[in-house]
């Protein structure tokens, strides 16, 4: 099915409506919209430089710089719903690896993209930064996929 066959009913989207902040990622709703450029290979990037979640052991906040790249097929993620979803992690206790991979898998399940990757660049916990990377497979040929541009953590060095 191509995006031209997919109707867009804006009344079902969170976009343009007041939406309460979800209490958890499980409660958050991600919206998708038809890709008007379905059949064209291109990369879409979302950067969330102030992502937060909670340590599941101590309850202390964890901070990350997330970079989400995907090559859409028939669907695009609606950006307000993505923002609400990512913000829902603020009160959610999970390890860095779980947060990063869960976000990627939920997006991949929703969008069924040609390709998706996420880089989770986490700030140090216990003096050690933990970076987490996930992708759905080999990147497609012919698509410009720039580096994510997030430097390795160096502290004050």
Dihedral pair phi/psi, residue 75, rounded to 5°:
-125, 150
DSSP sequence for 73-94:
SSEEE-HHHHHHHHHGGGG-B-
Give the residue numbers marked as catalytic. 55, 62
Residue 39 burial (10 A CB sphere; 0-12, 13-18, 19+): exposed
Position 8 scores a pLDDT of 53
Give the helix/strand (H/E) hosting 48. Answer: strand 44-54
pLDDT over 90 for what percent of the chain?
A: 77
Q: Is this structure's pTM higher than 0.85?
A: yes
- CA–CA dist 142, 77 (Å, integer): 22
Go through the chain and tell me how many residues it has: 157
pLDDT over 70 for what percent of the chain?
A: 89
Report pLDDT digits (tens) over 94-144.
999 999 999 999 999 999 999 999 999 999 988 889 999 999 999 999 999
Beta carbons of 104 and 111 less than 8 angstroms apart = no
The answer as to CATH 3.10.20.30 being correct for domain 20-135 is no
């Amino acid at each position: 099915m191509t995006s031209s066959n997919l109707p867009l009913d804006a009344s079902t989207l969170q976009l343009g409506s007041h939406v309460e902040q979800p209490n958890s990622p499980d409660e958050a709703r991600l919206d998708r919209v038809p890709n008007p450029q379905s059949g064209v290979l291109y990369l879409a990037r979302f950067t969330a430089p102030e992502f937060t979640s909670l340590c599941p052991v101590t309850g202390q906040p964890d901070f990350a710089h997330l970079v989400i790249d995907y090559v859409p097929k028939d669907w695009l993620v609606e950006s307000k719903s993505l923002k609400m979803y990512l913000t829902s992690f603020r009160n959610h206790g999970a390890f860095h690896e779980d947060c990063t991979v869960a976000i990627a898998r939920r997006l991949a399940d929703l969008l069924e993209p040609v390709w998706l990757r996420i880089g989770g660049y986490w700030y140090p916990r216990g003096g050690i930064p933990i970076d987490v990377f996930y992708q759905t497979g080999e990147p497609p040929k012919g698509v410009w996929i720039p580096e994510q541009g997030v430097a390795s953590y160096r502290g004050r060095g």
